Amino acid sequence: MRILLLSDIHANYEALDACLNTAPPHDIVVNLGDIVGYGASPNEVMEVCRSIGERFVRGNHDKAVATLAGIEDFNPVAAQAVQWTRSHLTPENLAWLNALPQGPLQLENLPGTQFAHGSPLDEDEYIVNTQEAEIPLKAASCPLTFIGHTHIQGAFAYVEEAVKFEWPRYRIPGSSENVELQLQGGARYLINPGSVGQPRDGDWRAAFAVYDSGAQVVTFCRTPYNVKAAQERILAAGLPPRLASRLSVGR
Ligand code: ZN
Protein backbone atom coordinates (compact mmCIF):
# COMPACT_ATOMS: atom_id res chain seq x y z
CA MET A 1 0.00 0.00 0.00
CA ARG A 2 1.21 3.51 -0.85
CA ILE A 3 0.13 6.21 1.58
CA LEU A 4 0.24 9.92 0.82
CA LEU A 5 1.14 11.70 4.07
CA LEU A 6 -0.03 15.28 4.46
CA SER A 7 0.62 17.31 7.60
CA ASP A 8 0.38 20.89 8.81
CA ILE A 9 -1.41 22.25 5.76
CA HIS A 10 -2.45 25.26 7.85
CA ALA A 11 -5.13 26.59 5.50
CA ASN A 12 -2.65 27.14 2.66
CA TYR A 13 -4.70 26.23 -0.40
CA GLU A 14 -2.01 27.05 -2.97
CA ALA A 15 0.50 24.74 -1.26
CA LEU A 16 -1.99 21.88 -0.92
CA ASP A 17 -2.98 22.16 -4.57
CA ALA A 18 0.67 21.98 -5.69
CA CYS A 19 1.29 18.90 -3.53
CA LEU A 20 -1.67 17.05 -4.96
CA ASN A 21 -0.63 17.96 -8.50
CA THR A 22 2.89 16.58 -8.05
CA ALA A 23 2.31 13.68 -5.62
CA PRO A 24 3.66 10.28 -6.69
CA PRO A 25 1.06 7.51 -7.18
CA HIS A 26 -0.68 6.49 -3.93
CA ASP A 27 -3.61 4.39 -2.73
CA ILE A 28 -4.81 6.34 0.30
CA VAL A 29 -4.22 9.67 2.08
CA VAL A 30 -3.47 10.05 5.78
CA ASN A 31 -3.67 13.55 7.22
CA LEU A 32 -1.53 14.16 10.32
CA GLY A 33 -3.37 17.27 11.49
CA ASP A 34 -3.20 21.06 11.65
CA ILE A 35 -5.40 21.40 8.61
CA VAL A 36 -6.21 24.98 9.62
CA GLY A 37 -4.62 27.87 11.51
CA TYR A 38 -2.18 30.53 10.16
CA GLY A 39 -3.38 30.53 6.52
CA ALA A 40 -6.33 32.31 4.94
CA SER A 41 -8.12 29.48 3.11
CA PRO A 42 -9.54 27.23 5.86
CA ASN A 43 -12.81 26.30 4.18
CA GLU A 44 -11.23 25.67 0.77
CA VAL A 45 -8.50 23.47 2.32
CA MET A 46 -10.96 21.53 4.46
CA GLU A 47 -13.16 20.79 1.50
CA VAL A 48 -10.21 19.38 -0.46
CA CYS A 49 -8.99 17.35 2.52
CA ARG A 50 -12.43 15.90 3.13
CA SER A 51 -12.76 14.92 -0.53
CA ILE A 52 -9.41 13.08 -0.81
CA GLY A 53 -9.29 11.06 2.41
CA GLU A 54 -10.99 9.65 5.44
CA ARG A 55 -8.00 9.09 7.69
CA PHE A 56 -7.19 12.01 9.96
CA VAL A 57 -5.70 12.80 13.33
CA ARG A 58 -6.34 16.19 14.87
CA GLY A 59 -3.59 18.75 15.40
CA ASN A 60 -3.30 21.30 18.19
CA HIS A 61 -4.53 24.08 15.87
CA ASP A 62 -7.52 22.00 14.78
CA LYS A 63 -8.38 21.41 18.43
CA ALA A 64 -7.91 25.08 19.35
CA VAL A 65 -10.06 26.31 16.46
CA ALA A 66 -12.80 23.79 17.23
CA THR A 67 -12.93 24.22 21.02
CA LEU A 68 -10.43 26.94 22.05
CA ALA A 69 -8.73 24.20 24.12
CA GLY A 70 -5.01 24.86 24.58
CA ILE A 71 -5.16 28.38 23.13
CA GLU A 72 -3.56 29.73 26.32
CA ASP A 73 -0.32 28.06 25.20
CA PHE A 74 -0.36 29.74 21.77
CA ASN A 75 1.74 32.81 20.99
CA PRO A 76 -0.28 35.97 20.21
CA VAL A 77 0.05 35.61 16.43
CA ALA A 78 -1.08 31.96 16.47
CA ALA A 79 -3.94 32.77 18.86
CA GLN A 80 -5.10 35.59 16.57
CA ALA A 81 -5.12 33.15 13.64
CA VAL A 82 -7.15 30.66 15.71
CA GLN A 83 -9.81 33.28 16.44
CA TRP A 84 -9.88 34.45 12.81
CA THR A 85 -10.27 30.85 11.58
CA ARG A 86 -13.00 30.11 14.12
CA SER A 87 -15.01 33.08 12.91
CA HIS A 88 -14.59 32.25 9.20
CA LEU A 89 -15.24 28.49 9.09
CA THR A 90 -18.68 27.34 7.99
CA PRO A 91 -20.70 25.76 10.83
CA GLU A 92 -20.41 22.41 9.06
CA ASN A 93 -16.63 22.61 8.78
CA LEU A 94 -16.33 23.70 12.41
CA ALA A 95 -18.39 20.68 13.50
CA TRP A 96 -16.30 18.38 11.30
CA LEU A 97 -13.09 19.78 12.79
CA ASN A 98 -14.45 19.22 16.29
CA ALA A 99 -15.07 15.55 15.49
CA LEU A 100 -11.50 14.81 14.36
CA PRO A 101 -9.99 11.96 16.39
CA GLN A 102 -6.99 12.29 18.66
CA GLY A 103 -3.97 10.27 17.52
CA PRO A 104 -2.30 7.88 17.35
CA LEU A 105 -4.31 6.30 14.58
CA GLN A 106 -3.72 2.81 13.21
CA LEU A 107 -5.02 1.29 9.98
CA GLU A 108 -6.61 -2.14 10.12
CA ASN A 109 -4.42 -3.59 7.33
CA LEU A 110 -1.12 -1.97 8.35
CA PRO A 111 0.27 -3.57 11.53
CA GLY A 112 3.28 -1.97 13.22
CA THR A 113 2.54 1.49 11.86
CA GLN A 114 0.74 4.42 13.47
CA PHE A 115 0.01 8.07 12.80
CA ALA A 116 0.12 10.96 15.29
CA HIS A 117 0.32 14.75 15.27
CA GLY A 118 3.00 15.45 17.90
CA SER A 119 4.60 12.55 19.72
CA PRO A 120 2.95 9.10 19.73
CA LEU A 121 2.94 9.54 23.53
CA ASP A 122 1.51 13.10 23.59
CA GLU A 123 -0.26 14.80 20.71
CA ASP A 124 1.02 18.26 21.76
CA GLU A 125 4.70 17.36 22.23
CA TYR A 126 7.35 18.64 19.78
CA ILE A 127 10.07 16.22 18.70
CA VAL A 128 12.78 18.45 17.29
CA ASN A 129 16.07 16.70 18.13
CA THR A 130 17.47 13.25 18.80
CA GLN A 131 17.26 13.74 22.61
CA GLU A 132 13.54 14.45 22.36
CA ALA A 133 13.07 11.53 19.98
CA GLU A 134 14.69 8.88 22.15
CA ILE A 135 11.90 8.15 24.65
CA PRO A 136 9.04 8.09 22.10
CA LEU A 137 11.16 5.99 19.72
CA LYS A 138 11.72 3.37 22.41
CA ALA A 139 8.27 3.56 24.03
CA ALA A 140 6.01 3.79 20.97
CA SER A 141 3.70 0.82 20.61
CA CYS A 142 4.62 0.53 16.90
CA PRO A 143 8.10 0.47 15.34
CA LEU A 144 7.01 3.00 12.69
CA THR A 145 5.23 6.23 13.62
CA PHE A 146 4.47 9.10 11.26
CA ILE A 147 4.27 12.48 12.98
CA GLY A 148 3.89 16.17 12.13
CA HIS A 149 3.77 19.25 14.39
CA THR A 150 7.35 20.56 14.07
CA HIS A 151 7.08 21.45 10.35
CA ILE A 152 10.53 19.89 9.85
CA GLN A 153 10.85 17.10 7.30
CA GLY A 154 12.95 14.05 8.12
CA ALA A 155 13.27 10.76 9.98
CA PHE A 156 14.45 9.90 13.49
CA ALA A 157 15.75 6.33 13.51
CA TYR A 158 16.63 4.08 16.43
CA VAL A 159 19.17 1.60 15.10
CA GLU A 160 21.66 -0.48 17.10
CA GLU A 161 21.01 1.38 20.37
CA ALA A 162 21.55 4.84 18.83
CA VAL A 163 19.20 7.60 17.70
CA LYS A 164 20.01 9.46 14.50
CA PHE A 165 18.24 12.03 12.36
CA GLU A 166 18.16 11.63 8.60
CA TRP A 167 16.91 14.41 6.36
CA PRO A 168 16.43 14.44 2.57
CA ARG A 169 19.37 15.92 0.68
CA TYR A 170 17.73 18.02 -2.01
CA ARG A 171 19.79 19.44 -4.87
CA ILE A 172 17.65 21.69 -7.03
CA PRO A 173 16.25 24.67 -5.08
CA GLY A 174 12.96 25.91 -6.49
CA SER A 175 12.03 22.73 -8.37
CA SER A 176 9.92 19.70 -7.52
CA GLU A 177 12.14 17.02 -6.01
CA ASN A 178 11.75 13.59 -4.43
CA VAL A 179 14.30 11.83 -2.18
CA GLU A 180 13.84 8.22 -1.12
CA LEU A 181 14.63 6.72 2.28
CA GLN A 182 14.85 2.93 2.46
CA LEU A 183 13.73 1.75 5.89
CA GLN A 184 15.92 -0.83 7.64
CA GLY A 185 14.52 -4.00 9.12
CA GLY A 186 14.70 -4.03 12.92
CA ALA A 187 14.95 -0.24 13.23
CA ARG A 188 12.34 1.99 14.88
CA TYR A 189 11.30 5.26 13.27
CA LEU A 190 9.55 8.57 13.84
CA ILE A 191 9.07 10.09 10.40
CA ASN A 192 7.83 13.60 9.64
CA PRO A 193 6.65 14.36 6.09
CA GLY A 194 7.17 18.07 6.80
CA SER A 195 4.61 20.84 6.51
CA VAL A 196 2.54 21.40 3.40
CA GLY A 197 1.53 24.94 4.22
CA GLN A 198 4.17 26.50 6.49
CA PRO A 199 7.59 24.76 6.28
CA ARG A 200 10.10 25.75 8.98
CA ASP A 201 13.21 23.90 7.83
CA GLY A 202 14.57 26.71 5.67
CA ASP A 203 13.05 25.43 2.42
CA TRP A 204 9.98 27.40 1.32
CA ARG A 205 8.66 24.61 -0.93
CA ALA A 206 5.62 22.65 0.23
CA ALA A 207 6.64 19.39 1.94
CA PHE A 208 4.95 16.00 2.05
CA ALA A 209 5.80 12.28 1.70
CA VAL A 210 4.62 8.95 0.35
CA TYR A 211 5.16 5.70 2.27
CA ASP A 212 5.24 2.44 0.30
CA SER A 213 4.65 -0.25 2.92
CA GLY A 214 5.50 -3.10 0.52
CA ALA A 215 8.87 -1.70 -0.55
CA GLN A 216 9.49 -0.15 2.91
CA VAL A 217 10.41 3.13 1.24
CA VAL A 218 9.50 6.65 2.30
CA THR A 219 9.67 9.19 -0.51
CA PHE A 220 10.15 12.74 0.81
CA CYS A 221 8.81 15.36 -1.59
CA ARG A 222 9.15 19.12 -2.05
CA THR A 223 7.26 21.17 -4.56
CA PRO A 224 7.20 24.88 -5.38
CA TYR A 225 3.84 26.64 -5.15
CA ASN A 226 2.34 30.07 -5.64
CA VAL A 227 3.63 31.62 -2.40
CA LYS A 228 2.70 35.12 -3.53
CA ALA A 229 -0.97 34.19 -3.91
CA ALA A 230 -1.04 32.56 -0.45
CA GLN A 231 0.62 35.65 1.05
CA GLU A 232 -1.81 38.03 -0.62
CA ARG A 233 -4.74 36.09 0.79
CA ILE A 234 -3.27 36.27 4.31
CA LEU A 235 -2.73 40.04 4.05
CA ALA A 236 -6.16 40.64 2.49
CA ALA A 237 -7.75 38.68 5.35
CA GLY A 238 -6.18 40.99 7.92
CA LEU A 239 -4.15 38.18 9.49
CA PRO A 240 -0.75 39.12 11.02
CA PRO A 241 1.73 40.03 8.19
CA ARG A 242 4.37 37.77 9.77
CA LEU A 243 2.25 34.78 8.72
CA ALA A 244 2.68 35.89 5.11
CA SER A 245 6.37 36.89 5.17
CA ARG A 246 7.58 33.68 6.78
CA LEU A 247 6.29 31.59 3.86
CA SER A 248 8.95 33.04 1.50
CA VAL A 249 11.80 31.79 3.64
CA GLY A 250 10.40 28.57 5.08
CA ARG A 251 10.85 29.69 8.71
ZN1 ZN B 1 1.36 22.87 12.71
* pLDDT digits 0-9 by tens, 206-237: 999 999 999 999 999 999 999 999 999 999 99
CATH code of the domain in which 200 resides: 3.60.21.10
The end-to-end CA distance of the chain, in Å, is 33
Instruction: Give me ligand 1 centre to Cα 128, in Å.
Output: 13
Instruction: Give me ligand 1 centre to Cα 225, in Å.
Output: 18
Q: Annotate 157-166 with b (16+ C-beta within 10 A) or e (fewer).
A: bbeeeebeee
Domain that holds residue 232: 2-248
CA separation for the pair 128, 149 (Å, rounded): 10
Instruction: Give me ligand 1 centre to Cα 194, in Å.
Output: 10
Query: Stretch 160-172: mean pLDDT, rounded?
Result: 95
Instruction: Give me ligand 1 centre to Cα 160, in Å.
Output: 31
pLDDT at 173 over 90: no
pLDDT at residue 136 in the model:
97
What three-state secondary structure class fits 30? strand
* pLDDT digits 0-9 by tens, 189-202: 999 999 999 999 99
Instruction: Give me ligand 1 centre to Cα 200, in Å.
Output: 10
Distance (Å) of CA 222 to CA 61, 130, 177, 195? 23, 23, 5, 10
Instruction: Give me ligand 1 centre to Cα 25, in Å.
Output: 25
Instruction: Give me ligand 1 centre to Cα 9, in Å.
Output: 8
Instruction: Give me ligand 1 centre to Cα 186, in Å.
Output: 30
Closest of 241, 243, 215, 210 to residue 61, by C-alpha: 243
Instruction: Give me ligand 1 centre to Cα 33, in Å.
Output: 7
* pLDDT digits 0-9 by tens, 52-110: 988 999 999 999 999 999 899 999 999 999 999 999 999 999 999 999 999 999 999 99
Instruction: Give me ligand 1 centre to Cα 183, in Å.
Output: 25
- Beta-carbon neighbour count of residue 129 at 10 Å? 13
Count of structural domains, the chain: 1
Query: Model's pTM, two decimal places?
Result: 0.97
Instruction: Give me ligand 1 centre to Cα 105, in Å.
Output: 18
